[in-house]
Amino acid sequence: MSGSLTVIGLGPGDARWITPAASAALEAATDLVGYGPYLDRAPEREGQRKHASDNRVEVERARFALDLAAEGRRVAVVSGGDPGVFAMAAAVFEALDGGGPQWRDIAITVEPGITAMLAAASRIGAPLGGDFCALSLSDNLKPWDIIEKRLKAALSADFVIALYNPISKARPWQLGAALALAAEAHPPETPVIFARAVGRPGETVTVASVRDAATVAADMSTLVIIGASTTRLIPREGGAPYVYTPRFYGVRP
Amino acid sequence: MSGSLTVIGLGPGDARWITPAASAALEAATDLVGYGPYLDRAPEREGQRKHASDNRVEVERARFALDLAAEGRRVAVVSGGDPGVFAMAAAVFEALDGGGPQWRDIAITVEPGITAMLAAASRIGAPLGGDFCALSLSDNLKPWDIIEKRLKAALSADFVIALYNPISKARPWQLGAALALAAEAHPPETPVIFARAVGRPGETVTVASVRDAATVAADMSTLVIIGASTTRLIPREGGAPYVYTPRFYGVRP
């Protein structure tokens, strides 16, 4: 008898951003599978088992969760943000696609969540107000050539660009390279937003110009938004300016 | 004395996707401003005023909301989806930027929500599992030339593409033109997802190949996701296949 598997997005960290649907799916599960810090954000529930794993073994974790579900358990795979955006949902379907028939009868669902770029944008105004791209800067799973091609295409067409996984100890130079491409493509005053740990303790949101952006510190908890050439600032007393991208382009109606 | 203005995202329609933070912000408001069908989704609260407007007058609606806040009211501007993605947040900041000093002391915040592409993706698998773009096909606020340039750039760099506002009575041909560009750029079997009224009565999710996508009906309630060349199908008995985009590109690790 097959059980079920739900991939759940907890949003960026603030419990008030966990949807009621995600909370209900957490509550209904017999087994929670995920990266330890995400599991710590789920409320304790008697009889529910938590299976914590490292953050780097997504497909193995997905296979483990599918095996549990195939045994008849009601499994929740827990992700931060939205599970479909650079998180666990794709890993689950990759595992399913490469796996055997014993997994094909499992009822698999996905519960959406607030992804990091939406939370980051909400803290500073409306920088994603025009067309935008979301791009992972990690070259663990795709070659840098592809990332560079995508950055250049997005910059040339003047999309706003949200950069996930911008930097880590093992990937120290990629963010600088991306910001250098942006500085070549855009006017020097184009805003760049560094949103760190949004919705979690120590949240900071910094706005720089693309000319100076390389001097801003960033880490694995940072989401970077590179404005389009039309992205504008509104000064604000006692804090970072608002940043927004108008909906119109070229001609103000 | 200035009041406050919060731009709130209600998600795509299902009340279980409204975050607790958005619910609390709705509850705290003295005045709700927005398109009528969105206001209808807010629970009735004694003493709270609802100001419904047409869906086409975003900046006028934003100015009205800012004026109310300047009078000292606690105003909630209510959006579907996420307010920062092709919704009311950019309109509020456009109005603020073009407006007078009487609005500059208003405390403005944004409450994020589940945007349509995340909800649509969650229903079918993980089509946004790789890098992706979000593009409004409406040429009311930007020229078609820009839209076409962005589509071509996104297709050439093999981004997954989420199309908001794909079609309306006044814009009948743009979706067909976009799908024709996709069919030129991608293999004929590349999946295209049509997600209509996700989270609302009458929800349908259809998967076609880019070769046949032009024959699928779409309307203003449809969100279209054009897969990348790497986007894959997993057949499923008794329903649409799962659709996912692997996280890796070019080389499977």
> Which domains are seen in chain A, by residue range?
4-114 (3.40.1010.10), 117-244 (3.30.950.10)
Tokens of B138: 């409406």
The stretch B119-147 carries a mean pLDDT of 96
Interface test with B, best of A94, A137, A229 (most B CBs within 10 A): A94
Whether the CB-CB separation of A139 and A205 falls below 8 Å is answered with no
ipTM: 0.97
Buried b (16+ CB within 10 A) or exposed e, A188-213: eebbbbbbbbbbeeebebbbbbbbeb
Lowest mean pLDDT among A5-9, B53-57, B121-125, B217-221: B53-57
Please give the average pLDDT of every successive group of 10 residues along chain A, which has 253 residues: 92 97 97 94 92 84 96 97 97 95 94 98 98 96 95 98 96 97 97 97 96 96 97 89 93 56
Closest CA to B182 of B128, B226, B246, B121: B226
Chain B residues touching residue A84 (CB < 8 angstroms): 118, 121-122, 126-129
As a whole number, mean pLDDT of residues B103-123 equals: 97
So what's the pLDDT on residue A135? 98
Tokens at B253, concatenated: 């690790």
Q: What is the rounded average pLDDT of the residues B149-157?
A: 98
Strands of the sheet with A242-244, listed across from one edge: A125-126, A242-244, A232-234
Average pLDDT over residues B70-82: 97
Least Cα distance to B221 among B147, B142, B168 occurs for B168
What is the three-state SS of chain A?
Answer: CCCEEEEEECECCCHHHCCHHHHHHHHHCCEEEEEHHHHHCCCCCCCCEEEEECCCCHHHHHHHHHHHHHCCCEEEEEECECCCCCCHHHHHHHHHHHCCHHHCCCEEEEECCCCHHHHHHHHHEECCCCCEEEEECCCCCCCHHHHHHHHHHHHHCCCEEEEECCCECCECCHHHHHHHHHHHHCCCCCEEEEEECCCCCCCEEEEEECCCHHHCCCCCCEEEEECCCCCEEECCCCCCCEEECCCCCCCCC
pLDDT (0 to 100) of residue A251: 61
Contact A200, A184 (CB under 8 A): no
Q: In terms of CA atoms, which chain B residue is nearest residue A12? A: B112
- Closest chain A CA to residue B114: A114
Phi and psi torsions of B68, nearest 5°: -60, -45
Supply the DSSP string of B67-130, one letter for each residue: HHHHTT-EEEEEESB-TTSSSHHHHHHHHHHHS-GGGTTSEEEEE----HHHHHHHHHEETTSS
Residue with tokens 């079918």: B124
Determine the distance in angstroms separating the CA of A77 from the nearest CA of chain B, rounded to an integer: 14
pLDDT at B53: 87
Mean pLDDT estimate for chain B: 95
Is beta strand A107-111 parallel, antiparallel or unpaired with respect to A132-136? unpaired
Which residue on chain A is closest to B99 by alpha carbon? A234
pLDDT value at B6 more than 90: yes
Say if strands A160-164 and A132-136 run parallel, antiparallel, or are unpaired.
Answer: parallel
Q: CB distance from B94 to chain A under 8 Å?
A: yes
Test A150 with B128 for CB contact under 8 angstroms: no
Q: Which among A25, A220, A5 is positioned nearest to A113, based on CA atoms?
A: A25
> What pTM was estimated for this model as a whole?
0.97
Nearest chain A Cα distance for residue B135, angstroms: 5
Interface of B with A in 171-230 (CB under 8 A): none
CB A244 within 8 A of CB B93: yes
Report how far residue A239's alpha carbon sits from residue B116's, in angstroms, rounded to the nearest whole number. 31
d(Cα A177, Cα A172) in Å, to the nearest integer?
10
pLDDT of B228 higher than 90: yes
Contact A115 B118 (CB under 8 A): yes
**Is the alpha carbon torsion for B95, B96, B102, B107 positive or negative?**
positive
Count CA within 13 A, CB hemisphere, residue A239: 12
CA distance B90 to A62: 38
pLDDT tens track for B195-226: 999 999 999 999 999 999 999 999 999 999 99
What's the alpha-carbon Rg for chain B, to the nearest Å? 20
Which carries the bigger pLDDT value, residue B188 or residue B54? B188
What was the pLDDT predicted at B200? 96
pLDDT at residue A48, rounded to an integer: 96
Confidence band (pLDDT; 50, 70, 90) for B57? confident
Dist. CA A88–CA A128, nearest whole Å: 24
Q: Is the pLDDT of residue B134 over 70?
A: yes
On the question of pLDDT at B37 being above 70, the answer is yes
Picking from A227, A152, A219, the residue whose alpha carbon sits closest to that of residue A192 is A227
Q: Is the pLDDT of residue B252 over 70?
A: no
What local confidence, expressed as pLDDT, does residue B43 receive?
87
Q: How high is the pLDDT of residue A53?
A: 86
The pLDDT of residue B145: 95
Say whether A132 and B133 touch across the interface (CB within 8 A). Answer: yes
pLDDT attached to residue A238: 78
Closest chain A residue by Cα to residue B121: A84
* Structure tokens given for A35: 């990266």
Beta bridge partners of A133: A161, B133
Residue B178 has pLDDT above 90, yes or no: yes
Cα separation of B84 and B94, whole Å?
A: 12
Residues of B in contact with A134 (CB under 8 A): 128, 131-134
